Chain A
Amino acid sequence: MRDRVLIVDDVEINREILKEILQDEYKIMQAGDGEEALQVIEQNQEDIAVVLLDLIMPKKDGYEVLEVLKKNKWLDNMAVLIISGESSVETEARCFDYGISDFIRKPFDNNLVRQRVRNVVELFLYKNHLEDKIDEQTEVLRKQYKLLHKQAEELREHKFKIIDILGTVVEYRNMESGEHINRVKGFTKILAEEMMKEYPEYELGLSDVEMISSAAALHDIGKIAIPDNILLKPGRLTKEEFDIMKSHTTKGGEILDSIEGAWDEEYGKVSYEICRHHHERHDGRGYPDGLKGDEIPISAQLVSVADVYDALVTERVYKSAFSKDEAFRMIQNGECGTFSPKLMKCFENVRKDFEELADRQK
């Protein structure tokens, strides 16, 4: 509790006069010179609210006291009022440079001293109160920030879950298990991570990898718009039927376009690219747009390899599973579409990881 006033003056009568006028409101401490003053201040740092300081004193003078107070940053928490017979403007200016709160000339008016001491005490109490408040509010803000951060994290996870659900719904309609979605996501992730390391020119970051592999869940969402008699037809599709089947890419893009506000722009863009372009081919003979090479967004290129690989190594209604060796060879040979050489290099690099994942998911 800062409720003490230290009176520093070499003349006892002066100290006694000041004590007389202040003792009703404050606990009074006294020092007869600068050296004694510094000792008292050091021992009572937490309790002294105001120092009434004379300038010209034996041993250490008032300036030396101010020097130490300033150096130790004690002036932040206690107010110093100079009470001096030195009344030149230079003296006053020099004291204010040290950071004193007020300058009172001798002979002092007792009422005035009392009032000025009250003023600085109130000012410092108010200042300290404000500082406490700021600390408090900073803490509250910090907690709220943490909470927001946590909620944003949860929202993001929810978003990913909902996307998985969307993708899974489509797969079920396709009479396939939801596992296809998980595997395509897994293969995409492995491939995208390798791409990030091997080919920095694609400027993929960790967050891109995460976004692409999450959005891979949506690659076939357009199939929801394909009639059952075509989607589930066991035999070979006619050309017209196949054209309708192919439209799942553009339909997927349309569906995603119609969804607004559910995800941020970048996520929407990546999802759209994957839906629309995951059947494009490196040689430009894919659909729906016949894009060539790196005209095909990298996200869609990655998903197309993942999708084809998964189709090969798992059993479908219309075919049995190929062995992993065969699947690897068929993709490398371009029997299941053409892919960029860079992509094939990455695919080769992560062959083991692909095979491990394929085994794990069976």
Chain B
Amino acid sequence: MEISNYIDLEDAAERFMKNDELFKKFLFRFPGEQGFHDLFKLLEEEKVEEAFKVAHSMKGVTANLALKSLNEALKPISDILKAKIMPGENEINRLKDAYEEVLQLIVEIELEGRTLFS
């Protein structure tokens, strides 16, 4: 998988002081983050307000980790939820796909022991 499609490496390098280990330490913790599971569950239950808070939080964490594809997929969902409207199935599915891709990418990076900041 092409990392730069999913992670804004330049941004990550800058914010993590070009410390590859430090960035990876947190990146590898991302799959354990409960937020997305909560978000999908809340969306299923159509709990709009609670879902917004979690979506907003996930937007923050994906931005912090420079997970750009996932962050971009979250934006429309978060905006719609903020207006207290349920997002459509398409947006939700797009988000689920983006999430799965990122999880897969992280596994790859971990397994192959890749260096991210050159």
Residues of A whose CB lies within 8 Å of any CB of B are 9-14, 16-17, 20, 54, 56-58, 84-86, 106-111
Contacts and interface: CB of A to CB of B under 8 A. Distances in A.
A82 to B, nearest CB: 12
Interface residues of B, number: 25
A318 to B, nearest CB: 109
Contacts of B65: 13, 107
B11 A11 contact: no
A337 B53 CA distance: 102
B35 interface: yes
Nearest to A16: B26
Contact of B17 (A10, A14, A106, A111): A111
Given A13-B30, A13-B64, A17-B64, 7 more contacts: A10-B57, A11-B60, A13-B65, A58-B54, A106-B63, A108-B15, A108-B64
Interface of B: 11, 14-17, 22, 25-26, 29-30, 33, 35, 50, 53-54, 56-61, 63-66
Contacts of B60: 9, 11, 14, 54, 84-85, 106-107
Nearest to A12: B33
A109 B25 CA distance: 16
Contact of B56 (A16, A20, A85): A85
Contacts of A20: 22, 25-26
26 contacts: A9-B60, A10-B53, A11-B33, A11-B57, A11-B58, A11-B61, A12-B29, A13-B30, A14-B60, A14-B64, A16-B29, A20-B25, A54-B57, A56-B53, A57-B57, A58-B53, A58-B54, A85-B56, A85-B63, A106-B59, A106-B60, A107-B60, A108-B15, A108-B64, A109-B15, A110-B17
Contacts, number: 64
Contacts of B58: 11
Closest 7 CB pairs of A and B: A107-B63, A85-B60, A106-B60, A107-B64, A11-B61, A109-B15, A56-B56
A355 B63 CA distance: 100
A9 B34 CA distance: 14
Nearest to B62: A107
Nearest to B22: A20
Nearest to A86: B56
A11 B38 CA distance: 12
Contact of B50 (A54, A58, A110): A58
Nearest to A112: B15
Contacts of A110: 15-17
A51 B77 CA distance: 30
Given A108-B15, A110-B16, A14 B53 contact: no
A18 to B, nearest CB: 9
Contact of A13 (B16, B33, B53): B33
A57 B30 CA distance: 19
Contacts of A109: 14-15
A13 B26 contact: yes
A13 B11 CA distance: 17
B30 A107 contact: no
A138 to B, nearest CB: 45
Contacts of A10: 53, 57
B29 A13 contact: yes
A81 to B, nearest CB: 15
Chain B CB count within 10 A is highest, among A57, A84, A107, A108, for A107
Contact of B66 (A13, A54, A86, A107): A107
B59 A57 contact: no
A85 B26 contact: no
A27 to B, nearest CB: 20
A107 B11 contact: yes
B56 to A, nearest CB: 5
Contacts of A9: 60
A185 B116 CA distance: 101
Contact of B57 (A56, A107, A111): A56
Contacts of A13: 26, 29-30, 33, 61, 64-65
Contacts of B57: 10-11, 54, 56-57
A217 B105 CA distance: 106
A258 to B, nearest CB: 85
A83 to B, nearest CB: 9
B18 to A, nearest CB: 10
B22 to A, nearest CB: 7
Contacts of B53: 10, 56-58
